[in-house]
Amino acid sequence: MNAVPPPVDERPVMSRTDRFALGATAALAGLVALGAAVGGVLSVVQAVRDDPLTISGFELVNARAPEVTEPVEQVTAAWYDSATLSVANLPDSARWLFAGHSAVMALSVVGVSLALLWLALRVLRTRPFGRSVTAALVTSALLIIIGGTAAQLLEAAGRAAVVDHLGPAVTGGAGSGESLLAFGLSVDLAPISVGMALAVVALAFQIGARMQRDTEGLV
């Protein structure tokens, strides 16, 4: 008489802690996407309708030293990097540049958050690999790269439009004292790096999807 083999201890693919963590991640990603969408709409409306409109990040030329540092001997040099202005009667061209900046930033956050939400749901269903997930990751990578770069360009162009609107009174230039830089752009390469990293993750998921299909074909 053949002995009956002992039952195999079949453990679930995911524990309750794993499911809770994935569910919480999906919920948080959904909330972030919703918050970014609402915040983006409000920022666009604010850029279009607020009068005066408060704008920060104007680079200064020949900036004066802060008075608070003058009596301190240890401070050998001091200057202001930028200025914040509240400007009334802005032209629509400048307003729409700032509105575009807010919209692009919000779209990037919403896209990445929705991709994370979809990925968490797929993992909960124990099917993390698939064309839809890969497409979502690739779209998120493009949104981060293009959106992050475009947002910086739009914001810089918006500030330049404001300075042009204010005229020579604020752009006296060298030799005429403190003034605003006509066009200033400091490019942050972080969105490009993050987007490229996410694109590599998308490639890994595409390879995983191919391996998953091959494995299912053997069963």
Q: In this predicted model, what pLDDT tens digit does every residue of 62-95 receive, in sequence order? A: 877 777 877 788 888 887 888 889 999 899 999 9
The two tokens of residue 139 are 């779209």
- Closest among 150, 33, 34 to 100, alpha carbons compared: 150
Cα(68)–Cα(131) distance, integer angstroms: 59
Q: ∠ CA(159), CA(162), CA(165), 5° rounding?
A: 155
Q: What is the pLDDT of residues 134-145, one digit of tens each?
A: 888 888 888 889
Confidence band of 27 (pLDDT split at 50, 70, 90):
very high
User: What pLDDT, on a 0 to 100 scale, did the predictor assign at position 128?
Assistant: 65
